[in-house]
Structure 1
Amino acid sequence: MDIPLKKKRFTTKKVSIIIGVVLLLSLIAFAFISSGGASKLNVNEERLSVDTVQEGIFQENIPVNGVVLPISTIYLDAIEGGRVEEIFVEDGEIMKAGEPVLRLSNTDLELSLVNQETQVYNLLTQMQISQNAARQNTINRLNQLTDVENSLIEAERVYNLNQRLYKKDAIGRQDLLESENNYKYQKQRMDLAREVLAQDSISTQQEMGQAQNSYGRTQKALELMRKKVEDLIVRAPVDGQLTSLDAEIGQSKTKGERLGQVDVVTGYKVRVDIDEHYISRIYAGQQGSFKINGRDFTLEIKKVYTQVTNGRFQVDMFFEGEVPEGIRRGQTLQIRLALSQEKEALLVSKGGFFQQTGGNWIFKLSEDGKTAYKVDIQLGSQNTEYYEVLQGLQPGDRVITSSYDNFGNIEELILN
């Protein structure tokens, strides 16, 4: 007879599973209780940047880069085209105004000058011939006037004599009338001769005036042509340093082509590139500062170029007061450009935390410095060193300003 066996209620396998579940739940409960319901993370304090919130003088500014340029640059262009024949100086030399830089040759221009000179000389010769002819004509007119005047005097003498003789019945009436008619005729000839001489004088003066005007215009044209030939010698327009000279012996240069430039080195300015985001806040008179060789120097905006290119615009800044010793053209300066006046504010140092928080919250250390927890904040303006704190923090608070990339959604940090 078979004896029925009692089925075991707990097998070894079931017991192991139950024990594992209990341990897992216990571990979860322990973690929840120990964290107080919030996620925590142990971090090494030495890898964090901790800053103390403090009150201080705040001025909103932005970092910009500027390039040192001469205070003025005069460009050298080929006023007349030609072939480079001589180069008198080397690039980089200090020039005086009027000193020659290079010489061009232009056969057509030089030939035109010769033709213009010939034209002037021919016109001058014609003027001299015309003047001689006018003088000779005047002499002839004067001689004719003298003859007519002599004939008038003789006719008047005869007429007066015949009048007396006629009264004495020494001559007949016919002789008297004949002398009277001759006298009147000579008077008319005299008036006509004088009129002809006056008109001839006026005509001569007009011709001489026209000739003089024509000669003057031709002379000016000659001077202009000589000036164009002289422009084949390119000269420094002002005192300064010759830079960017682009010319070689035998090279052909067209009219208006850029040959180089002369930098006025009596002073410097700084050309600054700024993001177009700030264009409405930039104006002449704003100041910026930079540090070089351990000293601070000040710049002031004198001119704003409002044209935007590739999202940026430019301004020219001039040195206020002393200029740094040894500064050179093309040198790059890192400038802090002020956008506001100085004021008292609550400050927190800039750091990598802003990239993750957007300035909406920050990790604040507890009083004992062993933990850090999230607090909501509000930041205002910023400069190259600080953010302006508007809400959420008090003077003396210690906060973590380094990057939060590895913290994820952690609510509290345990500092080891």
Structure 2
Amino acid sequence: MSVLQMAQDRPAARAPVSGSGMDRVVERKRLPRAAVIGGGVIALALAALLFWWLAPRAGTQSIAAERLTIATVQRGTFDDYIPLRTRVTPLLTVYIDAIEGGRVEQVLVEDGTMLAKGQPIAILSNAELQLSTLARQTEVEQQINNMRSQELSLAQTRVANQRSVLEAQLALEKAQRQFDREAPLARKGFVAGRQFADTEDQLRYERQRLAVVRQGRSTDEQLQRGQLAQQRASTASLQTGLELARANLDALNLRAPVAGQLSGFSIQVGQSMQRGERIGQIDSPGRNKLQAGVDEFFLGRVEVGQTARIEAGGRDHRARVTKIFPQVQNGQFQIELQFVGAEPAGLQRGQTVQARLTLSDPAPAVLIPNGGFYNDTGGAWVFVAAPDGRSAVKRQVRLGRRSADSIEVLDGLSPGERVIISPYTGFADKDALDLTQGKDV
């Protein structure tokens, strides 16, 4: 069978079926344009509302509640005291300085020795001072001798003036007797008029001479008294200067000015000391005082005479404030306290002792625990937590006295309210807080 015949015997292929007769256009349903716009506006409004609800508000900050310390306002008794960390110091300290410089020749005691008043502790030498003192002594003695010579001369002058007065008085008495004899004879003509006139002139002269001599003696006595007073004052001044020079020379022998324990004494033989150089100090034996720094907040409340309780040696002791130094340094001022009665046994210089200084008597009050918030607000406001503990708001308050444990509330808080007492670092400028629970922030 041929190929051609086989091709003819096959049935004819069917023509492809077209679906054009079955397809139809389906129209899509669309929302109205107004509905689409309205839906978009609603969606945007919901998104904005959600953002406003979740976003932090102005003046508000979210913070984990675990980071804060919240305390309850309570009614109780306010113990008005402040704790003090005091330092033991000698009640009386006398410093020893070198009045005159010199070389250390001998050291007679050691540091820590108990000294009696006036006990020698060291000997210095100063050749220049010794020579100058000797020269000053010679000069003073020479001036004193000169003044004594002047005093002798003034005494001799006084004697001479007295002799002159006596001689003038004697001459006047002779002239008066001669005048008294010749006067009646001259009236009767038995004495020549010229002779009687000479006698009368002689009497007048003797009277005037006695007046002049007396006046001169008075003037000399006044001048002599002034010179003697001046010379005696000069002599006393020179004597004082000589005593000072001798005292400076004697100051080379260093002595204890008071009785007590020597400390800070470390000079060596051969060492050169300058004038005014600190050599050591003497502390009063067995008598101590306490020094403490107090926060400047209490500057107006600490007064002289207030008492403090001190625990030392297993017993309570009392002390009182004796001095207040109002100069503030590093936020503190210094006070001094002295023991009332017997001191604790075994106190050592430089030892620290805990004390409680009572400022006033205990009194009932509304209280909150003391905390770091006070340094951030100064006691003018606090954050008050809501009852559910999820938020806190700033509130103006008025706080009063403050102790180490609690603060007195005068106005703005009621018992039972809860207050954030931890430091407000990082959110002190906020008006409200969202307190998140757990680890959410």
- TM-score, normalised by the number of residues in structure 1: 0.61
Deviates more, 1:76-85 or 1:141-150: 141-150
Shift of 1:112: 3.7
1:86 aligns to what?
Answer: 106
1:65 aligns to what?
Answer: 85
Cα deviation code 1:186-218 (max 9, x no counterpart): 333333333333333333333222222221222
Shift of 1:385: 8.6
Instruction: Give the count of matched residue pairs.
Output: 326
Cα deviation code 1:232-289 (max 9, x no counterpart): 3333333322211242223233333222112123422222234556656655555554
Alignment of 1:352-371 (within 5 A): none
1:269 aligns to what?
Answer: 289
- Alignment of 1:315 with 2:335, yes or no, is yes
Q: Is the 8 A contact 1:336 1:384 kept in 2?
A: no
Q: Is the 8 A contact 2:79 2:361 kept in 1?
A: yes
- Alignment of 1:255 with 2:279, yes or no, is no
C-alpha distance in 1 between matches for 2:336 and 2:147: 59
Match among 129, 138, 141 for residue 158 of structure 2: 138
1:195 aligns to what?
Answer: 215
C-alpha distance in 2 between matches for 1:193 and 1:410: 122
Which secondary structure does the structure 2 equivalent of 1:262 belong to?
A: strand
Q: Is the 8 A contact 2:75 2:415 kept in 1?
A: no
Cα deviation code 1:85-108 (max 9, x no counterpart): 333322112223333333333444
Match among 205, 216, 233 for residue 225 of structure 2: 205
Shift of 1:375: 11
1:214 aligns to what?
Answer: 234
Q: Cα gap change, 1:152/1:287 in structure 2, threshold over 3 Å: closer, same or farther? A: closer
For 2:90, give the aligned amino acid: P
Which secondary structure does the structure 2 equivalent of 1:318 belong to?
A: strand
1:178 aligns to what?
Answer: 198
Alignment of 1:95-244 (within 5 A): 95-167=115-187, 169-244=189-264
For 2:141, give the aligned amino acid: Y
Q: Is the 8 A contact 1:242 1:260 kept in 2?
A: yes
- Alignment of 1:303 with 2:353, yes or no, is no
Shift of 1:223: 2.8
Q: Cα gap change, 1:284/1:183 in structure 2, threshold over 3 Å: closer, same or farther? A: closer
For structure 1, list consecutive stretches of 5 or more residues without a partner in the other structure.
1-53, 351-358, 362-373, 394-407, 412-416
Q: Is the 8 A contact 1:95 1:236 kept in 2?
A: yes
Q: Is the 8 A contact 1:163 1:176 kept in 2?
A: yes
Structure whose CA Rg is larger: 2
Cα deviation code 1:321-373 (max 9, x no counterpart): 443222221222244556775468999999xxxxxxxx999xxxxxxxxxxxx
C-alpha distance in 1 between matches for 2:365 and 2:275: 61
Match among 324, 337, 356 for residue 344 of structure 2: 324
C-alpha distance in 2 between matches for 1:217 and 1:128: 15
- TM-score, normalised by the number of residues in structure 2: 0.58
Q: Cα gap change, 1:55/1:341 in structure 2, threshold over 3 Å: closer, same or farther? A: same
Superposed CA RMSD: 4.5
C-alpha distance in 2 between matches for 1:289 and 1:233: 45
Q: Cα gap change, 1:253/1:193 in structure 2, threshold over 3 Å: closer, same or farther? A: same
C-alpha distance in 2 between matches for 1:214 and 1:289: 60
C-alpha distance in 2 between matches for 1:125 and 1:262: 44
Q: Cα gap change, 1:324/1:304 in structure 2, threshold over 3 Å: closer, same or farther? A: same
Q: Is the 8 A contact 1:375 1:392 kept in 2?
A: no
Q: Cα gap change, 1:392/1:172 in structure 2, threshold over 3 Å: closer, same or farther? A: closer
C-alpha distance in 2 between matches for 1:165 and 1:280: 107
Q: Percent identity?
A: 31
Shift of 1:73: 1.8
C-alpha distance in 2 between matches for 1:311 and 1:111: 55
Shift of 1:305: 3.2
Q: Cα gap change, 1:115/1:339 in structure 2, threshold over 3 Å: closer, same or farther? A: same
C-alpha distance in 2 between matches for 1:56 and 1:103: 67
C-alpha distance in 2 between matches for 1:173 and 1:226: 78
Shift of 1:125: 1.7
C-alpha distance in 2 between matches for 1:101 and 1:170: 99
For 1:306, give the aligned amino acid: P
